[in-house]
Amino acid sequence: QHSSRNNACGLYRVGRLEFPMLFLIFLEHILIRLVVDGLPACRDSELFIKDLHFDEVPVRIYLPRVPSASKRRGVIFFHGGCGMFGTLNVYFYFLNSLICPDLVSKLFFIGYGTLYGIYISYTQTLDCLTATVHFLKTAENYGVDPDRIIVCGDSVGGTYTASVCQELVNRRDIPKIRAQVLIYPFLQALNFNLPSHQKNAFIAFLSQERTVLFILKYLNKDCSMKGAILAGSHVPESINLKYKKWINPDLIPEIFKLGYKPPLPTSFSPQVHEATKELFETRFSPLLAEDAVFCRLPDTCIITCEHDVLRDEGFLYKKRLEDNNVKVTWHHMKEGFHCALGFFGYGIFSFPSSSKILNHTVNFIKAY
């Protein structure tokens, strides 16, 4: 069957049938959720695993059965999945590996708003923040040292990690987060024409176009705005000038800019800007936070992948942190790709980069 797409009106055509792009993404969402929700809830005889709630937010805790004479470190993990596809079961093998004998952590896996049906925009961010605050206040009840809590997340989970850490920098009524781990995170929605966007424009799992489509679906917006956002028409000149010092291809190391072509100038669309103002909020684009916030962030580990449209966002966040004298550990996976972590532990479907990401994460956490 011949198929084509009409980018102007956001339609996909299959033969004589036309489908709205948003409907196809919605259908994809449902199918993927059916698959991942059908994964069995794995168990490990050496771990105590229990589902509970922190202020009504679903949480799965992983505790070593071997008792400890002292309080252990705690790890909070926010899963990826574009804010739409994640599940508590997909990451079992990765999470199980974080509770290894020489790490002896206690892990708290936050299941934010997507876990029980269709998401509500920003519910996930607030869920992650609510659950984190609850845990920081009650850590000792779980045998966790409140001064040794690390927050970790991959993909949009990395976004939530960055956002939560930023939200909490000025809180004096709860313990400080000790460190954060950002695994191929999404960190800004101003510029979708950075070198990594161009290089990996048609890569599997998360292409340049799908990145914007997922954002629009997440915000419950009209997917026909995709082209305008890809071109940068949603950003007024004043905002471009304000954030150019932080989001700029010139800040990317030359070795990662091979073949890069500056995008053609585009006209500003007030209508698209008005409809997508959420993109400029720091909880959605943590790269836009001021230096006064960055300078108070905890020690950070950033893991980027070469074959990932979001690669350069990790680079830029790393630079912001370093410019503000925050200790940063950076690992770049030359063979890595977006979603690699979700494949860890699944036999022939696992990849070398998945194991490397795990090892880097574990080694970083060990230091705290």
Known catalytic residues are 155, 308, 338
Name the CA radius of gyration of the chain, rounded.
Answer: 20
**Taken in order 225, 230, 231, 233, is the CA torsion positive or negative?**
positive
**Taken in order 296, 143, 71, 329, is the CA torsion positive or negative?**
negative
Query: What tokens were used for 102?
Result: 């020489």
Rounded CA-CA distance 212/124 in Å is 18
Half-sphere exposure of 146 (CA within 13 A, CB side): 14
The residue written with tokens 């966002």 in the block is 313
User: Helix, strand or coil for residue 46?
Assistant: coil
Rounded CA-CA distance 73/104 in Å is 8
Query: What tokens were used for 71?
Result: 């309080």
Cα→Cα distances 257→183, 194, 195, 250, Å: 21, 9, 6, 9
Rounded CA-CA distance 111/44 in Å is 20
Query: What tokens were used for 245?
Result: 């010092």
Count the neighbouring beta carbons within 10 Å of the beta carbon of residue 299: 18
Taking alpha carbons only, the member of 147, 176, 124, 142 closest to residue 62 is: 142
